[in-house]
Amino acid sequence: MITYYRLWDKLNRVHKKRKDLLEILSPATLNKLRKNETVTTETINKLCVYLDCQPGDLLEFEPDEND
């Protein structure tokens, strides 16, 4: 499963809040990120541009027990 814990950590380190992401994302997409649900690569691209980082700085793969 892909998780976005690194995204939330990155936001804290650059002194931004989750609601600040609404400048570039819809509320529905932000909610998907909060729930570790699937988002598009376009969303990841927007986040990387906004936060000036690489995808690996935002997400992490964690093996699921069911896989």
What structural domains does the chain harbor?
A: 2-61 (1.10.260)
User: Which whole number is the average pLDDT over 3-19?
Assistant: 97
How many angstroms separate the CA atoms of 35 and 49, rounded? 22
How would residue 67 be classed by pLDDT, with cut points 50, 70 and 90?
low
How would residue 66 be classed by pLDDT, with cut points 50, 70 and 90?
confident
R_g of the chain, CA atoms, integer Å: 12
Q: Is 25 left (phi over 0), alpha (psi -120 to 50) or beta?
A: beta
Residue 25 DSSP code: S
Asked if pLDDT for residue 1 goes beyond 70, the answer is: yes
More confident residue, 27 or 65: 27
Q: What are the φ and ψ backbone dihedral angles of 60, each rounded to 5 degrees?
A: -145, 145
How much helix, strand and coil, in percent to the nearest 5, is found in the chain? 55, 5, 40
